[in-house]
Structure 1
């Protein structure tokens, strides 16, 4: 199955993308995923109103490095005027695509009327998308969920509204807001959306391997696959999926040594970009994901959670690598 996709005028080489994840898809992680095979990268979701008010932290979150391209910068909000202003601001930014989040289920987001709360208000969602398309000189895409709950599955309705508003592509996380991240994704919703619109449809939900990606593409007819939690601690999944789809190749799972080397590389980037304290603290969850399932990893993770300097953590990881090599040799 040949990869590749066109979104508006943007030609993409692959159809395997990194999903936007709050607190996860920051610049250091995106750089790692790009190095390991992801094509289109999505940023963490950015508060449109905070961007308009020139919030310093928000401004730091939209930084894009040249080696990342192409990048979809995701914004969220429920006020069309702020979405439009944010789109205008980002016309002169480095991202190739502007994406609107209408799927985040986090309570603190939903209670403000943002994210997946918009699944309950298609009329407002339409006005937001229309405002963004009018203000943006770049392709505008949107990410939605199946619906609010099992009794309100309206992804097809939202997709049709999106297409009518001039949205260039739509990503569907095949879970409801009420499911959060539990249960199984219902890929039939992705298929229903694909059958209902002519714009590209990106499938999301429960893709944890190359076989999962192929299965989603075949069962739903979607144009691309977006990987979120399946990439946590496993950024190699992008190359694995691409090689399988493009060449029918089975890529060997990374060795413990490769994993630890990548952890150190990721940690180094985090400290360089965010400073020692923030970089180390924010890396703890990533380290836990990378080491999950490795022999003795629980003890190592607990030890690392007490350390605050790059060299200390690097040293402990290297000694853990030596311990693993001894175990493998015995």
Structure 2
């Protein structure tokens, strides 16, 4: 990759030609001059535009700007932060920044929605309660139905989607699928038979096995002593306390694990559209939404290995997937110790619906920068423990059966000490991973400053060269599966994606915040153009997310409450989207902050609001009025500002 291409990407992945055509005839004229020589006035104009972009300003067309005189004196623009990222330094006066609320709202509470009268589940499902009069729940269906609030308008979205409603009489749209004559819920058998369903469900019996530490791990029990012996041999060798003869005898005594899979399912990441694992917002409904927009590979939220082994209900909810994700769904785990990662991988391979396509890969997170994860020795802490990471991956590969193992890295833990090149070389040589994803930032950077795609490109080339060298040396051995290399960081437009794939040596690009802000980015990648979604189309997208959420969390009061909470989390990112139709310059950049703007209509202005109370108002447009117990606090204090 030449330095010119990388220099252009550092500024913008957009070609000058497309920028010119997007901006109009005058820009097109400037494009012609750029191909030859610009005069001084043109250079000054280009410098001013580039200077504004470098200062992080997204220029909005004059008719959509809000004059400073109209800004509320008490209103503070919301900060643009991710779940993990450090707060980006603004360009306001220092004294103003100090007055702004900072950090996260820890120990957030969302309130629980509860029925006035709690119905017994067995009676609700038409069965006879075995506890009889001793049961503490209500058995009188008529009494329970009378205590419920009035049904929400319209038909039950879950019943319309899958032909039945699991919530039954607890559904807030009960009468749309309830027969008064028979006193039972209705079923649309053809629709039910054709509907998709969720995979990787762990039942109560399986949870109890894990919780009681009775889950058998024969493969892990065999590979762990072998890996430990390798570790001990390396320690003795490095200390120099073993003679060459003793070392030779010791190595000869080791037996390669007989359970290492000789064949794994082949992955194909050549130019596929990948949604990154996302904390909180990367839930199943959001992933399904991205799938509908064209994402081909999706990942679970990061699951911690130890809670998985302990049978945690909340942790086992993370690997759950939907039939729409079959063939391209990976579960990401994090662990500080090899035995945790290896045994959790064996549990996933056993309990997930591998044969039905519910698990395409297990991904080891070696890049999470969160302090809590890092200090435990997991996530990006493994970047400083190469030997431990390699033993983890070797063990995971041995126990996962036909499921491939992949890994996600950062450049290193410190800015001035990137180690990914050296580490990637070892990973490819060991042959235990099917794909490597590199985020172009260090752990110290978190999400500040632009991702280093120069370094990603160089590391991808190291991976390719290493693999080719091994293939040349081992021509007589069976062909190895290719090691795919995926880049990650600052992919916010279709131009970013295509520029990386075509110029940065990567097989594909993993998209994170770009998809959170506009999930239709995958459509833009396919069409190779910006899509100016109208406010109505975006509201329909929000409604679709809500319906997918009800299908996942339930259409009763509790499920609606849960769905509303995650919808507000989603809106905390989507509100950052500035419609391309009101921007002066394209492409939009992730780090650019727009001037105060108003939309082309009231709905567009509302969808761009950073006030969390407006997010709740939007949720009421698709989920009905909020429950009296519902509460929502933004993840970051800076989003919880008050308006006059």
After TM superposition, is the score higher than 0.5? yes
Residue among 533, 550, 561 paired with 1:271: 550
In the comparison of the two structures, how many residue pairs are matched? 302
CA distance in 2 between counterparts of 1:47 and 1:252 reads 37
The equivalent residue for 2:489 is 205
Residue among 590, 595, 605 paired with 1:295: 605
Cα shift at 1:251: 4.7
Cα shift at 1:303: 3.5
The equivalent residue for 1:142 is 407
Pairs within 5 Å for 1:166-177: 166-177=432-443
1:260 counterpart SS class: helix
> Which protein has the larger Cα radius of gyration, Structure 1 or Structure 2?
2
The equivalent residue for 2:273 is 16
Change (3 A) 1:304 1:174: closer
Residue among 304, 308, 311 paired with 2:624: 311
The equivalent residue for 1:122 is 386
Gaps of 5+ in 1: 1-6, 245-249, 314-330
The TM-score normalised by the length of structure 2 is: 0.45
Residue among 196, 219, 224 paired with 2:508: 224
State the Cα deviation string for residues 200-223 of structure 1 (Å, max 9, x = none).
100000110011111112331100
CA distance in 1 between counterparts of 2:451 and 2:413 reads 14
Residue among 225, 229, 235 paired with 2:519: 235
The equivalent residue for 1:26 is 283
2:487 counterpart SS class: strand
Q: Which of the two has greater strand per residue?
A: 1
The equivalent residue for 1:316 is none
The TM-score normalised by the length of structure 1 is: 0.86
Does the CA-based 8 Å contact 2:341-2:396 persist in structure 1?
yes
User: Which structure 1 residue ranges, 4+ long, deviate > 6 Å from structure 2?
Assistant: 306-309
Does the CA-based 8 Å contact 2:572-2:615 persist in structure 1?
no
Cα shift at 1:312: 2.8
The equivalent residue for 2:457 is 191
CA distance in 2 between counterparts of 1:183 and 1:14 reads 26
Cα shift at 1:88: 1.0
| Cα RMSD, aligned residues only | 2.1
Greater RCO structure (CA 8 Å; 6+ sep): 2
Change (3 A) 1:210 1:126: same
Cα shift at 1:259: 0.7
Does the CA-based 8 Å contact 1:191-1:221 persist in structure 2?
yes
Higher deviation after alignment, 32-41 or 90-99 = 90-99
Gaps of 5+ in 2: 1-263, 353-357, 468-482, 554-558, 579-603, 627-644
The equivalent residue for 2:541 is 262
The equivalent residue for 1:179 is 445
Does the CA-based 8 Å contact 1:78-1:128 persist in structure 2?
no
The equivalent residue for 2:365 is 101
Change (3 A) 1:42 1:299: closer
Does the CA-based 8 Å contact 2:269-2:507 persist in structure 1?
no
